[in-house]
Amino acid sequence: MWEGTIRETVRLNNGVEMPRFGFGTVFTNKDIIRWAIQYGLRNIDTATDYDNEDIVGQAVKESGLKREEVFITTKVWNSSQGYEKTLAAFEYSLKQLDTDYVDLYLIHWPCPDNDLYIDTWKAMEKLYKDGRIRAIGVSNFYPEWIERIKNECEILPAIDQVEYHPFYQQRVIKEYCDREGIQMEAFSPLCQGKVEDSFVLKKIAAKYGKTCSQVTLRFLYQENIVIMPRSTKEWRIKQNLDIFDFSLDDEDMEIIRSLSTPQGRINMDPYTFHEQKNLKDQIKEREEREKQQKNQ
């Protein structure tokens, strides 16, 4: 049974409706964001660290849509963690986005070594209570850190945004979030294009007359995960949306589940990620790690 459209929403644990299909904006420009909105996407994900909140705000304004028609997510960066710093960081993001509220505000990384995320969360709770954020959540958080928030703060995160794709399925986190009523959201859902090189996914894609990317996004959709693919190519953005005229059968879902391995991670490990690192540092480290793997 086919189901869903790109406008379908999921109800978060505070009652806010969030589109299930979104668009990641790291390394994009205003034209690319405009294409995503033009093709019907209404969930746009940015972050202070992406250094593009301003063009996201411009693209939304120039789209001709009302502000409330677009769900905007942004994130507090590591060096801005702590109560007062978070409040200031939020004001900066609002100014960059040129809006008076944010739909979803996330802690970008837990940075457990500095132990500031609880104070950060309490600042976000204040902003939420003041009506300046419609929902608050976390990114790259393991259950142990969410448990601290649950025990020491007032509001349970609405979202946990983590790396999640066929080759690295963080099922322990997903099972925890499902139990706690926290919506799982996937970044890097296409493993930065690596899904297109998978023999297994190619075989499944041929069966349905789809691409490996479309099969992957459909898999995540059927796993009830909010999907946040990114592309810099207009045709690819449009192609990625074409996942609602087929369904993967149970056998293929199990085959894709079996592709996950601990070595499948392509982004930083939240346990070892330190506050000094920014996006460029992450990319440099990943490239070096991939070079070493090729030489082994």
Write out the catalytic residue numbers. 50
How far is it, in rounded angstroms, from Cα 8 to Cα 21?
8
DSSP lists the bridge partners of residue 185 as 161, 226
Task: Write the single-letter amino acid at 174.
Answer: K
How far is it, in rounded angstroms, from Cα 121 to Cα 138?
9
By the 8 A CB rule, do 242 and 7 touch?
no
How far is it, in rounded angstroms, from Cα 253 to Cα 216?
10
How far is it, in rounded angstroms, from Cα 116 to Cα 152?
13
Structure tokens at 185: 């959201």
Task: Report the 10 Å Cβ neighbour count for 261.
Answer: 10
How far is it, in rounded angstroms, from Cα 93 to Cα 144?
28
**Per-residue b/e over 32-61, b at no fewer than 16 CB within 10 Å?**
bbbbbbeeebbbbbbbbbbebbebbbbbbe
């990384």: which residue's tokens? Answer: 109
By the 8 A CB rule, do 222 and 248 touch?
yes
Largest CA distance in the chain: 54
Minimal CA–CA distance to 201: which of 267, 265, 252? 252
Structure tokens at 100: 């008076």
